[in-house]
Amino acid sequence: IDNDKSIYIADCLNNRIVKWELNSNEGQIIAGENGKENQNNQLDGPSDIISDKKNNSFIISEFFNQRVIRYFYKNQTNQQITNRNTYPSGLAIDENGFIYIADIYNHEVRRWKQGDEIGELVAGGNGQGNHLNQLNTPTFMFIDEDHSLYISDRYNHRVMKWKKDAKKGIIVAGGNRQGNRLNQLSDPEGVIVDHLGQIYVADSYNHRVMRWCEGEEEGEVVVGGNGEGNQSNQLFNPMGLSFDSKENLYVADSWNNRIQKFEIVL
């Protein structure tokens, strides 16, 4: 979501990126929709998009093409960032323009600088597992001002906080096996953190968004939690999360094929 409240959507199964301006009735395709292949003007299953204001571009992860690609706003050219040994899912970017990529099959997160051939390992990378130095299919991420990474560790049903230069992470949400109690998650996806340090998690298979405070044993349901469905108080496999400038919460409600906006009491 940009400062004009335009929403940028990784429309995965349509193999495109769509920009949806505030109060508009339809979106604008800004990348893809030229077939499901690996040419420069094509996308295959885009899963995440982030903005790089420093380089006037946006960055897309493509799992099926095993690449992360940068699109420049002005001239519509693009540049591949990673090699084809990466299985990217979620993305994050810091104030230096370094890009963080969650690799779901290698169970790690790497940081990529301009010109890198191999990114630097910053989380996981110790094989698939549930120890504090391991991940099991990391999906989405958030990076804070201290360069701590918050990682949705999908099949460990937890969110890990990985401080800068740390050798292992800290469980900040879930981690009590898969379930629907307030101390559990089921296949977490999107994760973001507000200005108070509260952690929001798309608890996808529980069809809800949870809020956790670091150090608490339980979270609270802030959106959904009323069973899977398409009513305004329901979600169906939520994925991505984002805030606008007023910290309204936007939820990619994936199996309902919609984006929902919620006003959250902080």
Contacts 24+ apart (CB under 8 A), 126-135: 130/156, 131/168, 132/160, 132/168, 132/169, 132/170, 132/171, 133/167, 133/168, 133/169, 134/107, 135/107, 135/108, 135/109, 135/160
Its pTM stands at 0.95
Residues of the chain with pLDDT below 70 are 75-77, 84
User: Which residues, other chains included, contact 113 with Cβ-Cβ below 8 Å and sequence gap of 6+?
Assistant: 98, 119, 120
Q: What is the pLDDT of residue 3?
A: 86
Q: What is the pLDDT of residue 73?
A: 78
Q: Cα separation of 111 and 120, whole Å?
A: 5
Determine the residue type at 208: R
Q: What is the pLDDT of residue 116?
A: 84
CA distances from 115 to 62, 87, 98, 119, 125 (A): 19, 19, 11, 10, 22
Q: Which two tokens stand for residue 214?
A: 């670091």
Query: In the chain, what are the helix, strand and coil shares in percent, each to the nearest 5?
Result: 5, 45, 50
Q: What is the pLDDT of residue 75?
A: 66
Structural domains in the chain, CATH included, are 52-263 (2.120.10.30)
Q: What is the pLDDT of residue 248?
A: 94
Q: What is the pLDDT of residue 159?
A: 99
